[in-house]
Amino acid sequence: MRHQIMNHIIDTKDQSTLEWQPGKQPGQGRFFNQQTGQSYQCIDGIVQMVQAESLEGKNKKFRHLYDQFANSYDVASNIGWAYIGVKESEMRKQCLDCIEFHPQMQLLEVSAGTGANRRVIPDEVHYTGLDLSIGMLKRCQKNLAKWKKHANLFCAAAEELPFASNYFEVVYHYGGLNFFNDPRRSLEEILRVVRPGGQVVVVDETESAAKSVEDFPKLGIFYKDRDTITIPMDLVPGQALNPKCELLFDERLYRISFSKENNS
């Protein structure tokens, strides 16, 4: 884990800044709350801020599904995009093309999954990935090792981001907002942790995209028995600056972007 972020991890229960206590082996240790005695373990390079038994609703359902699906997710996703004539790596690059990357940039990806976006983000960016599925993060670790990429990884819910306010230059989200318990609160949290003048980019499937994969092997299970998807511009926090929405890939994806005022 890069040292830059270690002093910016908080306990979402009381907003206390957590103290990093390294373990005996690389990738091991814990973040410790000196006020309450609560600790959050870092196991094999993944900081575990939430446990499955504490979850409910959509968060519980989709963590379980993604945990079960993690080892086959990359192949299924690649085939799904190829089925509609799109190369997945090019899709991911285009979704990110509104971000001006620069060396040492602090970037958070909410719903990092198996790390596919990290693969197309420049190496010199300081990347932190967060996901609710420990299975997806373990798959991400394997991918990062194969690609020789670095990341700080956290298992936590988007509704309770374990980071200090105003820390990240960019927060990016792809493909999970429709599956959150509370999308509005998640967007509020995302805006909280981005620094003044920073950028937020949110990409997710449209209703037409979801309907097109309902019967697709493996992927379809995520889109059955669901609410109709609407583009959630009404959920963007009121203090967000210059919110806008674009439709990508024949209206299969929407991309919402906004920034944070310098005086927020």
pLDDT tens column, 161-178: 999 999 999 999 999 999
C-beta separation of 157 from 132 below 8 A: yes
Can you read off the two tokens belonging to residue 98?
């509104």
Name the pTM for this structure: 0.94
Instruction: Compute the distance between CA of residue 124 and CA of residue 99 in angstroms, rounded to an integer.
Output: 14
Instruction: Break the chain into its structural domains and give their ranges.
Output: 46-260
C-beta separation of 94 from 248 below 8 A: yes
pLDDT tens column, 62-101: 999 999 999 999 998 888 888 778 899 999 999 999 999 9
Report pLDDT for 80: 80
| DSSP labels, 136-162 | HHHHHHHHHHHHT---EEEE--TTS--
Pairing relation of β-strands 253-260 and 240-248? antiparallel
Q: Which CATH number describes the domain made up of 46-260?
A: 3.40.50.150
